Structure 1
Amino acid sequence: MRFVDCKTVGSSLPIFLKGGETGVLFIHGFTGSPHDFTYMAEKVHEAGFTVSVPRLPGHGTCGEDFLTSNAHDWLRRAFDAYYDLKAICREVHIAGLSMGGVIAIILASVLRPRKLITLAAATYTRSNQIKLAWLVGLFKDRIPKQNVQPLEDPDMEFLNGEYWSYEWPKQAAELYKLIKMSRKAVKQIVSDTLVIAARNDELVPLEAAQFIYNNVRSERRKLLIFEKSGHVLTNDVEKEAVTEAVVNWLKS
Structure 2
Amino acid sequence: MPVLPGAQPFRHEGGEVGVLLCHGFTGSPQSLRPWAEFLAERGLTVSLPLLPGHGTRWQDMQLTGWPDWYAEVDRELRLLTEQCRQVFVLGLSMGGALALRLAAKHGDAISGVVVVNPANKVHGLAAHALPVVRYLVRSTKGLANDVAKEGVDEIGYDRVPLHAAHSLRRFFRLVDSELPQVTQPLLLLRSPQDHVVPPADSARILSRVSSTDVTETVLEESYHVATLDHDAERIFQDSYEFIGRLAPGAGAKSKETASGG
Provide the TM-score with structure 1 as the length reference.
0.88
| 2:117 match | 120
1:245 and 1:20 map into 2 onto residues whose CA distance is: 19
Kept after mapping to 1: 8 A contact 2:28/2:55: yes
1:121 and 1:75 map into 2 onto residues whose CA distance is: 15
1:92 aligns with 2:77: no
Kept after mapping to 1: 8 A contact 2:28/2:50: yes
1:47 aligns with 2:42: yes
1:34 aligns with 2:21: no
| 1:17 match | 12
Choose between structure 1 and 2: higher helix proportion. 1
- Once the two structures are TM-superposed, the CA of residue 16 in structure 1 deviates from its matched residue by 0.2
SS at match of 2:83: coil
Partner of residue 181 from structure 1, selected from 164, 174, 179: 174
| 1:143 match | 140
Partner of residue 242 from structure 1, selected from 220, 235, 253: 235
Summarize the alignment of residues 169-208 of structure 1 with structure 2, pairs less than 5 Å apart: 169-208=162-201
SS at match of 1:87: helix
- Once the two structures are TM-superposed, the CA of residue 193 in structure 1 deviates from its matched residue by 0.6
Partner of residue 71 from structure 2, selected from 64, 73, 76: 76
SS at match of 2:195: coil
SS at match of 1:10: coil
1:152 and 1:233 map into 2 onto residues whose CA distance is: 14
- Once the two structures are TM-superposed, the CA of residue 237 in structure 1 deviates from its matched residue by 1.5
1:185 and 1:45 map into 2 onto residues whose CA distance is: 31
Cα gap change, 1:81 to 1:39, in 2 (>3 Å): same
Kept after mapping to 2: 8 A contact 1:137/1:169: yes
Kept after mapping to 2: 8 A contact 1:126/1:203: no
1:143 and 1:230 map into 2 onto residues whose CA distance is: 21
- Once the two structures are TM-superposed, the CA of residue 144 in structure 1 deviates from its matched residue by 5.0
CA RMSD of aligned residues (A): 2.1
- Equivalent AA in structure 2 for residue 124 of structure 1: K
SS at match of 1:201: coil
Provide the TM-score with structure 2 as the length reference.
0.85
- Once the two structures are TM-superposed, the CA of residue 46 in structure 1 deviates from its matched residue by 2.1
Summarize the alignment of residues 150-169 of structure 1 with structure 2, pairs less than 5 Å apart: 163-164=157-158, 166-169=159-162
- Once the two structures are TM-superposed, the CA of residue 128 in structure 1 deviates from its matched residue by 4.1
1:246 and 1:72 map into 2 onto residues whose CA distance is: 27
- Equivalent AA in structure 2 for residue 111 of structure 1: H
Specify every segment of 5 or more residues in structure 1 that has no aligned partner in the other structure, as ranges.
1-5
2:123 and 2:238 map into 1 onto residues whose CA distance is: 25
- Once the two structures are TM-superposed, the CA of residue 127 in structure 1 deviates from its matched residue by 2.8
SS at match of 2:119: coil
1:109 aligns with 2:104: yes
| 2:203 match | 210
1:17-71 superposed Cα distances (whole Å, 9 cap, x missing partner): 1111010000000011111111111111122211100000000011221111111
1:129 aligns with 2:126: yes
1:125 and 1:251 map into 2 onto residues whose CA distance is: 34
